Amino acid sequence: MNKSEVDDVVSRVRTFIREQVIPVDDEYDGDIAAAGGDERRRELQAAARAAGVFAPHVPTGLGGLGMNMVDRAPVFEEAGYSLFGPVALNINAPDEGNMHLLDHIATAGQRERYLTPLASGEQRSGFAMTEPSPGAGSDPSALATTATRVDGGWLINGEKYFITGADGADFFIIMARTGEQATMFLAPADREGLTVGRHMRSLDTSMLGGHCEMTFTDCFIPDEDVLGEVGKGFAGAQIRLGPARMTHVMRWLGAARRAHEVAVTHVAGREAFGTRLADLGMMQQMIADNEIDIAATRALLMEACRVLDDGGRASKETSIAKTFAAEALHRIADRAVQMCGGLGTTHDLPVAKIAREIRPFRIYDGPSEVHRWSLAKRAVREITR
């Protein structure tokens, strides 16, 4: 897309979010289950289609707008201005990342069965990777779920937890160990031997389907539902990982920007100590620091997106952008709460729920500490080789 076309989509998304999505988001304090769950999702997505802003990232052949990473960044940011915006545009996690992965490596049959209904909003999905200790978490090499070869396919056994969107998902991408390596598999949610368990109640409430435990007990997966190559699961997952981290940054940047703008509006209209709060030096420092964190997050995000669009893995760039953004956006939301004083802790303003939702991002998609460890190892290797 050219710049004017992108700007037009951004403008339409901005109008749609403010007029049709934010009122619902604020009414239910960012709790998607309280707002109606999948029924509400279908309503919002129908409205997004009518507004011409549905699935901006999906290839045009599947009914989307076909935007690349650079073009979608400002669109996703505008969608993220409401916590329900990503659900409405069908760009929420984990579905958006799963669409990206399926579009790149799914077979023709898998595209028809899984990608097409996911891209249209007819279905939802999950990515079953994370496991309880001592299984895979921040260290994927600890993967404990196994897939054993049997006639015509594989039997999967193991436990997963913190699987986002699992409750109500129509299918899953499952990571399991096949010998010394890992393989990805596709499975409908009603497959015998696949069980979605309890919700793990967490700080955030805007993720449709929650974060759930799962168990696999002799769950049979036919050969045609192996996703990618046997033994190449970790390599395949990398196709999803970098872009998904950046789309997380895009969405949460929008939310943090809303918190900042609400806070600035508040301090510009509130008087204390004989002046506007916005004219006090300590308040001005928080406003300025938020502006700096927003600008720096955008710059690092766009650099990583350019590398991804050019066909690079962008491992370093996405790791830097994700780590900085997760911490910067948390700072922005926290300052916004502080700037709004007592009101900032209440449901009267949206800053409290945004701070609540953003905090886990410093852990999701890799804790900041793991990214720093990886970046440090890469720096030492590059400088001393």
Number of domain units in the chain: 3
Residue ending a domain, choose from 209, 231, 253 = 231
Over residues 272-301, mean pLDDT: 97
Task: Identify which of 364, 289, 361 has the alpha carbon closest to the alpha carbon of residue 326.
Answer: 361
On whether the CB atoms of residues 84 and 74 are closer than 8 A, the answer is no
Environment class of residue 117 by beta-carbon count within 10 Å: exposed (0-12), middle (13-18) or buried (19+)? middle
Report, in angstroms and rounded to the nearest whole number, the Rg of the chain calculated over CA atoms: 21
On whether both 306 and 244 belong to a single domain, the answer is yes
36 domain residue, yes or no: yes
Over residues 264-293, mean pLDDT: 96
Over residues 245-265, mean pLDDT: 98
101 domain residue, yes or no: no
Task: Identify which of 159, 134, 95, 137 has the alpha carbon closest to the alpha carbon of residue 367.
Answer: 137
Average pLDDT, the chain: 97
On whether the CB atoms of residues 93 and 84 are closer than 8 A, the answer is no
On whether the CB atoms of residues 88 and 264 are closer than 8 A, the answer is no
Q: What is the pTM of this model?
A: 0.96
Predicted pLDDT of residue 134: 95
Task: Identify which of 120, 221, 244 has the alpha carbon closest to the alpha carbon of residue 173.
Answer: 221
**Confidence grade of residue 39 (pLDDT, cut at 50, 70, 90):** very high
Q: What is the CATH number of the domain that holds 379?
A: 1.20.140.10
On whether both 202 and 177 belong to a single domain, the answer is yes
pLDDT > 90 fraction of the chain, expressed in percent and rounded: 99
CA distances from 228 to 65, 111, 152, 225 (A): 26, 12, 17, 9
On whether both 212 and 274 belong to a single domain, the answer is no
**Confidence grade of residue 293 (pLDDT, cut at 50, 70, 90):** very high
Encoded amino acid at 89, one letter: L
On whether both 218 and 248 belong to a single domain, the answer is no
Residue ending a domain, choose from 69, 92, 115 = 92
Residue ending a domain, choose from 200, 231, 262 = 231
For the segment 198-212, what is each residue's pLDDT rounded down to a tens digit? 999 999 999 999 999
On whether both 42 and 137 belong to a single domain, the answer is no
**Confidence grade of residue 32 (pLDDT, cut at 50, 70, 90):** very high
Domain span at residue 61 reads 3-92
| Whole-angstrom distance, CA of residue 364 vs CA of residue 372 | 14
For the segment 118-135, what is each residue's pLDDT rounded down to a tens digit? 999 999 999 999 999 999
Predicted pLDDT of residue 77: 98
**Confidence grade of residue 320 (pLDDT, cut at 50, 70, 90):** very high
Predicted pLDDT of residue 72: 98
Over residues 306-327, mean pLDDT: 97
On whether both 276 and 213 belong to a single domain, the answer is no
281 domain residue, yes or no: yes
**Confidence grade of residue 221 (pLDDT, cut at 50, 70, 90):** very high
